[in-house]
Structure 1
Amino acid sequence: MEPQEITPCSKPHPPVVGKVTHHSIELHWDLEKAARRQGPQEQWFRFSIEEEDPRVHSYGIIYAGYATQHVVEGLEPRTLHRFRLKVTSPSGEFEYSPVVSVSTTGEPISSDYFHRAVNMNDEDLLLRIFQGGHVKVDVPNKFGFTALMVAAQKGYTRLVKILVSNGTDVNLKNGSGKDSLMLACYAGHLDVVKYLRRHGASWEARDLGGCTALHWAADGGHCGVVEWMIKDGCEVDAVDTGLGWTPLMRVSAVSGNQRVASLLIEAGADVNMKDKDGKTPLMVAVLNDHEELVQLLLDRGADASVKNEFGKGVLEMARVFDRQNVVSLLEERKKKQLPKKSSIR
């Protein structure tokens, strides 16, 4: 028995308008005919969405196929668009629907405009933006930073307070896993650090490498921030997930800052803790040629006799990497620690 030909029996309904934004319009259509699909695709109804070009008052196809919805994108805000649906039967007959008119919405406050106010430390503009409403306070900029992250990093305390009072999430993280507290700690903005702590920021948070805010504060070298963090109860010997480094090891590797190292050691940082390769802070300081920090670590109880997992000690490392000043320091210290030979009478 020959399959019965299906033809458009009546004028189709116009496309139904779904979600509309300032740059897109969602359309869907004729689910009834789509539900009657049987057999191979060539026996299905085919749909086309056509849009009017207002300059020449003619229609052009913007979608053709067998789907029942389409999103028109890349539109301008507050612009009127006119669409019609063309339904074509398997035999090639077709009908047009009535035209539907729909306008895109007004453009919301641009995230670029919002971030520009923060970057410029423009408190009045930021307040006006919030008064205007419809602000996505946590929308990131092109670098993945929220407005709070930017304000915290730059030390704009008043903007930080405005953003927090307008509902920003203090614990959001950027692409590398750093939150606003870490950024403020690294940059040394103590007022911002204190404010974020009062409003829910946590010392326990870690970035993608497992580093805490104290790791970043140690990198930044701001003693006032490090000292306050320790008093506020952050963990001194937190270990990252990459190399297994504590904040003291970061100091030994990056800056060699003796004052920061002293604060950490006085707060209980372990001068002989080993990383994943068996290196101690002393070894890391030797490898990075931080001579004065090497002296400090030795004075604070660092064990120069410890070997790493390859059986290498600090003196051997210093020689291999030609750290001449450190070699002299270690050899001199070793001589002083040798027991004096008693004279034979």
Structure 2
Amino acid sequence: MKPVSVLGHSMSPEALVVGKINHHSIELSWGSGEKEHRGPTESWTRFSVEQMDPKTHTYGTIYVGYSTQYVVEGLQPSTLYKFRLRSTKSNGQCCLCPALSVSTTREPLSGKHLHQAVNRNDEEALNKVLQSGSVNVNVCDKMGFTPLMVAAQKGYGRLVHKLVEHGADIHMKNGSGKDCLMLACFAGHLDIVKYLRECGATWQSQDMGGCSPLHWAADGGHLPVIDYMIQDGCELDVRDTVSHWTPLMRVSAMSGNAAVASLLIRARADVNVRDKNGKTPLMVAVLNNHEELVQLLLDNGADHLVKNEFGSGAAEMAKAFGRQNIIHLLEGRKFL
């Protein structure tokens, strides 16, 4: 079919030709019928590339100029597009070439697809990406998490196995220094914790603040994970590098979880350990009004007479913050 002018007269053909195509762009070109531009611009043939809107089936202009090629960008992958070319001579005579339909290619597999598969717990999609061999299994998302970290945190055990089998690095850390073992410990996924240990993950790992997997397990409050860590020989009184808190101290400061503290104490965690300011778990529990934990610590040998570097002990702290319930506890033991 020849292009037809708006006046109904046949004109020299100006057909659209498809060049390079990828998942987000299509290269279009056309023969101008002129070897070179001569004379003033006003005498040149002007071209307009028009693209059809699939919703309204109307055409909109996306390029106007004197060039003989144009690259349409910002397109969606695996999508059909329709274009046509409008030629306008210097005398105003205009013609349209027949519409051309062309589809973009499928988007190549990338780290985005790998993370999408993990976040959806889609083992089939994960296998497809991994088997392509074109994606780095340790690629990080915008939060600095590898696919293995995400799977470990979410508890997707089958995906964790699959990622490790394809070379995922169990020792990689995110921006705050957490590795997949810490994330699994905090989230309470015992099966994943055990598997990562079998693969060589270590209890000695520390994040940017010096917290170990046991610190994070204590924060998470998952007793089966903590019990396994203790049985596996995890160090109980490991200190962070910021406040010199042990996991027991973090329980005193954060959750006040007496069940977690009891498990640590039964395993012989030091109830009188001191942080960098000389505070003990008992003092910290008093300051955070964790009454049940205060009782537990006292019952297990916490020294109420110990003072911090400013000369204050548990009793003074309880009075200073008006912790009447704890003051009564201490008075009942004749500590005041």
Identity %: 65
Aligned counterparts, 1:12-23, within 5 A: none
Partner-residue secondary structure (3-state), 1:128: helix
| Corresponding residue of 2:89 | none
Distance 1:252 1:55, change over 3 A: farther
Calculate the TM-score normalised by the size of structure 2: 0.69
**Which residue of structure 2 lines up, in the alignment, with residue 278 of structure 1?**
278
* Alignment pair present for 1:234 and 2:237: no
Q: 1:55 to 1:192 in 2, by over 3 A?
A: farther
Q: How does 1:86-101 map to 2 (within 5 A)?
A: none
User: How do 1:1-345 and structure 2 match up within 5 A?
Assistant: 56-57=67-68, 108-334=108-334
- Structure 2 CA distance, aligned partners of 1:75 and 1:203? 48
- What one-letter code is carried by the residue in structure 1 that aligns with 2:252? S
Q: How many residues align?
A: 250
* Aligned partner of residue 200 in structure 1, secondary structure: coil
Tell me how far 1:120 sits from its aligned partner: 0.6
Equivalent position amino acid for 2:274 in 1: K
- Which residue identity is paired with 1:274? R
Distance 1:111 1:55, change over 3 A: farther
Shift, 1:133, TM fit: 2.0
Deviation at 1:110, TM superposition (A): 2.3
Q: Could you list the per-position Cα deviations for residues 277-303 of structure 1 after superposition, in whole angstroms to 9, with x for gaps in the alignment? A: 000000000000000000000000000
- Report the CA distance between 1:329 and its aligned residue: 0.5
Partners of 2:110 and 2:134 within 8 A in 1:
no
1:90-115 superposed Cα distances (whole Å, 9 cap, x missing partner): xxxxxxxxxxxxxxx99641222210
CA separation of 1:334 and 1:124: change in aligned 2, threshold 3 A: same
Offset at 1:132?
A: 2.1
Instruction: Identify the range of structure 1 (324-333 vs 291-300) with the bigger mean alpha-carbon deviation.
Output: 324-333
SS of residue in 1 equivalent to 2:333:
helix
Q: CA offset at residue 215 of structure 1?
A: 0.1
Find the aligned partners of 1:250 and 1:54 in 2 and give their Cα distance.
68
1:212 maps to a residue whose letter is: S
8 Å CA contact retained: 2:113, 2:129? no
Q: Which runs of 5 or more residues in structure 1 are unaligned?
A: 1-21, 24-52, 60-73, 78-104, 339-345
Separation in structure 2 between the aligned mates of residue 306 and residue 334 of structure 1, nearest angstrom:
15
Amino acid at match of 1:56: S
**Considering only aligned residues, what root-mean-square deviation do their CA atoms show, in Å?**
2.8
Alpha-carbon distance in structure 2 between the residues aligned to 1:107 and 1:176: 32
Look up the SS of the partner of 1:331 in the other structure: helix
Query: Following the alignment from structure 1 to structure 2, what is the Cα–Cα distance between the partners of residues 315 and 209?
Result: 30
Between the aligned partners of 2:117 and 2:319, the Cα distance in structure 1 is: 54
**1:130-155: CA deviation from partner (whole Å, max 9, x where unpaired):** 22221210001111100000000000
| Normalised TM-score (structure 1) | 0.67
Aligned residue type for 1:334? K
Q: Which amino acid aligns with 2:286?
A: V
Which runs of structure 1 show a deviation greater than 6 angstroms over 4 or more consecutive aligned residues?
A: 74-77
Q: Deviations over 1:60-115 (max 9, x none)?
A: xxxxxxxxxxxxxx9999xxxxxxxxxxxxxxxxxxxxxxxxxxx99641222210
Does the 8 A contact of 2:186 with 2:219 survive in 1?
A: yes
Shift of 1:333: 1.0
Which residue identity does 1:268 align to in structure 2? R
Aligned AA for 1:161?
H
CA distance in 1: counterparts of 2:259 and 2:297, whole angstroms: 12
